[in-house]
């Protein structure tokens, strides 16, 4: 019997995993969730000796039940290969009392690579399984990180093309350079004269254009999404929490059955939801600590049970966590409401109409395992400088928010449970903020590439390929368009009249 996926809002028939991956978002606007969360069928001791790829298979086979063993193993082998700069894929670094699970060793040095390096393979396999002949066209609007990770994942994957729209003047110079130097004949990168919201609305309008959909179908194309609401991005993220526990067990940091806590720097709630799923599968995880920056909607939610996005949007030095609507929280709400799609729809309606909602006492009682903490800009910067000063380990701005949350949690609870902190980006991705946290005066006047060399010197960590590459890489994408011309631009790329 296949594990089936339903919409959190109840307005759609249950579908297989491959169909849910192809479709991305459910037709009623809800998110696909599995009927139940499967239990691991191996013990942690059995998992302890396994490689990342083997662990990935053992976890993902339980969710993607309509994939054959051969299909799934092929997807895994194609994703977690030498694109990663370490064979262990997701290493653990013990620093002070915490264990940093480094999720940034992939092609674009942020944790998005963990899922976006396998999603293209899951998607093309799903297309084949469902007899889809069309070429899949991935459309993405990005504020920086997702675009590059999606481009790197889909570049030169047969049967796919990818179009990324970014705000021409709204991303960092490093982020822009990373995108416009992207190789791959099937990649298209476009700067738009507008902001991220314009890019996002433009992409949504293209997705919703039925006439365009029909025209494209005639030419052999269909759209899909690499957005974090795709179940094909969530499932691969469960793997590294299971893997982290197994590796802690293997190295003797934990004894069998001993629980560990997990701290996750959170934006769209995808990464921490994966940790929650790992726990439901039977991984001995105790507390799930949700770390926010100054945009602390989730912190407030865990305190009070009220979600309220009516507040100013604050730009921080951890931009991937600057989010006021955490989409994947909907999947958790659905579960804690007892798989009640009507309740979920009611809350989501309130969110879209009033910008806020309140969960019931029953639902709140089920959030026991979660703790919310947040860090200010100053606290996060002080954490980077402090840990570097004490240990020589340099962490990025997002990871620093998580480290602060952990420190606050321990201070409050004196809990000595071994704790894994999800480290979501390489410090090289946010070099200026990181270096200025360490010594603002000294580094203030250096250029970005001078800072990169300096970071390598002080940390002793080799400059990653992803950064080295863009120093000299030729620019391959120069298209810039007005927001109103986004659709025409997509058609031109595809050669559709």
Ligand X SMILES: *Cc1c(COP(=O)(O)O)cnc(C)c1O
CA end-to-end span of the chain: 44
Nearest in space to 348 (alpha carbons), one of 382, 317, 325, 377: 325
Q: Phi/psi of residue 243, each to 5°?
A: -60, -45
110 interacts with ligand X by CB under 6 A: yes
Residue 294 is a binding residue for ligand X (CB under 6 A): no
Footprint (CB under 6 A) of ligand X, residues 368-427: 398, 424-425
Residue 321 CB, nearest distance to ligand X (Å)?
5
Three-state secondary structure along 226-265? CCCCCHHHHHHHHHHHHHHHHHHHHCCCCCCCCCEEEEEE
What is the edge-to-edge ordering of all strands in the sheet holding 285-292? 92-95, 98-102, 419-423, 260-265, 285-292, 370-374
Q: Give the binding-site size for ligand X (rule: CB under 6 A).
A: 17
Could you say whether residue 232 binds ligand X (CB under 6 A)?
no
Piece of 57-65, 268-276, 408-416, 442-450 that binds ligand X (CB under 6 A): 268-276
Smallest distance, ligand X to C-beta of residue 286, A: 20
Please give the structure tokens belonging to residue 336: 């804690």
Instruction: Identify the CA nearest to 168 among candidates 399, 481, 474.
Output: 481
- Per-residue contact string for residues 159-198; x = within reach of ligand X by CB under 6 A: ----------------------------------------
Question: CA 174 to CA 184: how far, in whole Å?
Answer: 19
Of residues 427 through 466, those in contact with ligand X by CB under 6 A are: none
Q: Exactly one of 32, 52, 243, 269 binds ligand X (CB under 6 A); which one? A: 269
Of 317 and 424, which has the nearer Cβ to ligand X?
Answer: 424
Sites for ligand X among residues 460-479 (CB under 6 A): none
Pick the piece of the chain touching ligand X (CB under 6 A) from 18-26, 190-198, 238-246, 269-277.
269-277
Supply 211's token pair: 């006439």
Helix (H, G, I), strand (E, B) or coil at 200: helix
| Tokens linked to 154 | 């889909």
Crossing angle of helices 119-129 and 231-250, in 10° steps, is 130
Q: Specify the DSSP class assigned to residue 110.
A: B
Closest CA to 100 of 111, 85, 87: 111
For residue 38, the minimal CB distance to ligand X (Å) is 21
| Binding residue for ligand X, selected from 6, 9, 105, 112, defined by CB under 6 A | 112
Measured from the CB of residue 104, what is the shortest distance to ligand X in angstroms? 8
Give the nearer residue to ligand X in terms of CB position, either 71 or 396: 396
CA-to-CA distance for 227 and 111, rounded, in angstroms? 14
- By beta-carbon proximity to ligand X, the closer residue of 202 and 267 is 267
Cβ closer to ligand X: 124 or 227? 227
| Contact assessment for residue 433 and residue 455, using Cβ atoms and an 8 Å cutoff | no
Task: Name the residue nearer to ligand X (CB basis): 55 or 292.
Answer: 292
**Which residue reads 């400059």 in tokens?**
463
For ligand X, the binding residues in 121-140 under the rule CB under 6 A are: none
Token pair 């309008």 in the structure block, residue: 205
Q: Which is nearer to ligand X, 47 or 351 (CB)?
A: 351
Q: CB 52 → ligand X: shortest distance, Å?
A: 19
Site for ligand X in 66-105 (CB under 6 A): none
Which CB sits closer to ligand X, 261 or 328? 328
Whole-Å CA distances, 35 to 4, 61, 125, 199, 478: 6, 15, 22, 34, 45
Enter the DSSP assignment of 321.
G
Q: Determine the interface stretch with ligand X among 180-188, 261-269, 363-371, 480-488 (rule: CB under 6 A).
A: 261-269
Interface with ligand X, residue 145, by CB under 6 A: yes
The least CB distance from residue 277 to ligand X, in Å, is 13
Rounded distance between C-alpha atoms, residue 477 and residue 147, angstroms: 14
Question: Which member of 138, 152, 321, 375 binds ligand X (CB under 6 A)?
Answer: 321
Q: Which stretch binds ligand X (CB under 6 A): 176-184, 214-222, 259-267, 356-364?
A: 259-267
Minimum distance of ligand X from residue 72's CB (angstroms) = 23
Nearer to ligand X among residue 50 and residue 151 (C-beta): 151
DSSP string over 259-283: -EEEEEE-SSSHHHHHHHHHHHTT-
Running DSSP on this structure, what letter comes out for residue 65? Answer: T
Chosen residue from 175, 181, 266, 459 binding ligand X by CB under 6 A? 266
The verdict on 275 binding ligand X (CB under 6 A) reads no
Where on the chain is the footprint of ligand X (CB under 6 A)? 110-112, 145, 228, 265-271, 320-321, 398, 424-425
């Amino acid at each position: 019997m296949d594990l089936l996926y339903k919409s959190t809002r109840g307005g759609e028939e249950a579908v297989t995993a491959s169909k849910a991956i192809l479709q991305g978002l459910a037709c009623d606007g809800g998110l696909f969730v599995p009927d139940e969360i499967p239990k691991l069928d191996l013990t942690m001791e059995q998992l302890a000796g396994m490689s990342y790829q083997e662990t990935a298979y053992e976890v993902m086979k339980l969710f993607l039940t309509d994939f054959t063993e051969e299909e799934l193993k092929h997807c895994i082998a194609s994703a977690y290969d030498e694109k990663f700069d370490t064979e262990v894929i997701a290493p653990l670094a013990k620093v002070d009392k915490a264990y940093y699970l480094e999720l940034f060793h992939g092609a674009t040095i942020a944790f998005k690579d963990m899922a976006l390096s396998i999603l293209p393979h899951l998607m093309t396999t799903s297309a084949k399984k469902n007899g889809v002949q069309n070429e899949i066209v991935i459309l993405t609007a990005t504020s920086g990180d997702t675009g590059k990770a999606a481009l790197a994942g889909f570049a030169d994957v047969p049967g796919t093309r990818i179009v990324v729209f970014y705000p021409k003047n709204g991303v960092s110079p490093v982020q822009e350079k990373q995108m416009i130097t992207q190789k791959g004949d099937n990649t298209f990168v476009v700067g738009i004269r507008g902001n991220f919201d314009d890019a996002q609305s433009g992409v949504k309008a293209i997705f919703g254009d039925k006439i365009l959909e029909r025209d494209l179908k005639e030419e052999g194309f269909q759209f899909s999404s690499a957005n974090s609401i795709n179940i094909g991005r969530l499932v691969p993220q469960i793997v590294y929490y299971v893997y982290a526990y197994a590796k802690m067990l293997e190295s003797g940091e934990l004894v069998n059955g001993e629980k560990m806590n997990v701290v996750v720097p959170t934006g769209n709630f995808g990464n921490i939801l994966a940790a929650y799923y790992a726990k439901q599968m039977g991984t001995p995880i105790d507390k799930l600590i949700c770390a926010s920056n100054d945009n602390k909607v989730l912190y407030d939610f865990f305190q009070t049970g009220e979600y309220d996005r009516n507040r100013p949007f604050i730009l921080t030095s951890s931009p991937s966590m600057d989010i006021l609507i955490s989409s994947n929280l909907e999947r958790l709400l659905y579960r804690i409401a007892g798989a009640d799609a009507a309740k979920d729809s009611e809350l989501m309606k309130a969110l879209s109409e009033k910008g806020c909602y309140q969960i019931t006492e029953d639902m709140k009682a089920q959030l026991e395992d979660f703790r919310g903490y947040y860090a200010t800009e100053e606290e996060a910067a002080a954490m980077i400088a402090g840990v570097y000063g004490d240990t020589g380990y340099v962490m990025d701005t997002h990871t620093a928010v998580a480290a602060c949350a952990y420190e606050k949690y321990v201070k409050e609870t004196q809990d000595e449970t071994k704790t894994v902190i999800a480290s979501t980006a390489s410090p090289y991705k946010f070099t200026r903020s990181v270096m200025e946290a360490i010594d603002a005066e000294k580094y203030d006047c250096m250029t970005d590439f001078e800072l990169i060399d300096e970071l390598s010197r002080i940390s002793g960590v080799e400059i990653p390929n992803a950064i080295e590459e863009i120093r000299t890489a030729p620019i391959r994408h120069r298209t810039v368009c007005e927001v109103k011309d986004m659709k025409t631009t997509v058609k031109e790329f595809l050669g559709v009249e």
